[in-house]
A and B are shown apart, each in its own frame.
Chain A
Amino acid sequence: AQSVTQLGSHVSVSEGALVLLRCNYSSSVPPYLFWYVQYPNQGLQLLLKYTSAATLVKGINGFEAEFKKSETSFHLTKPSAHMSDAAEYFCAVTPGGSQGNLIFGKGTKLSVKP
């Protein structure tokens, strides 16, 4: 069965600092992996996706993530945090080729201090 673990329910960084949000997955088949962002009282917006093409994936708003099969990880990074990055971030997995649902982690709330 597939699952996602996000380490750290809350991460706080200073504006301009590196953002690192951790995601580890469990999947018996090569997965597709996603990062979504959710602003308060809104739906989820896709940041980026891994689909087995390139292990380093670039997304919107300056975010990127690296797929590491040996570590079963897909951590999200951004070199320099902006105040507007404050939101909740969700990692999700779906088995490669699956047409079914996404399985989400519990989310990490990112706070950005001025």
Chain B
Amino acid sequence: DTGVSQDPRHKITKRGQNVTFRCDPISEHNRLYWYRQTLGQGPEFLTYFQNEAQLEKSRLLSDRFSAERPKGSFSTLEIQRTEQGDSAMYLCASRGTSGYNEQFFGPGTRLTVL
């Protein structure tokens, strides 16, 4: 499978715990995006990388959130001290250098904070 993959697919955690999600983009794609989707809403942008550089962060990305893409390949999104409001689907997308910003999405990680 050459699509975007995300791990885990589901995560249940207790409030206050830290969680980390992983995204593996399509191998030749140099741009990687993280979005958050809550029930009944469209995806909302969190942050994006070009290679290993984090180029933009949304105001939604509070200081409890951190994202990395250390070697310009896979990326991790960590949430520290989780809150119930963090419960959502976290989506990763990637795109290459050509095209018109068409982004290819992974299956998402569904986070439930109890």
Give residues in A with beta carbon < 8 Å to B.
4, 9, 32, 34, 36, 41-46, 49, 51, 90, 92, 94, 98-107
Contact = CB atoms under 8 A, between A and B. Distances in A.
B109 to A, nearest CB: 10
Contacts of A42: 107-108
Contacts of B40: 9, 106-107
A71 B57 CA distance: 32
A46 B41 contact: no
Given A43-B91, A105-B42, A32 B33 contact: no
Contact of A104 (B43, B101, B106, B110): B43
A98 B101 contact: yes
Q: Most chain-B CB neighbours within 10 Å: which of A45, A46, A102?
A: A102
Interface in B61-114: 91, 93, 100-108, 110
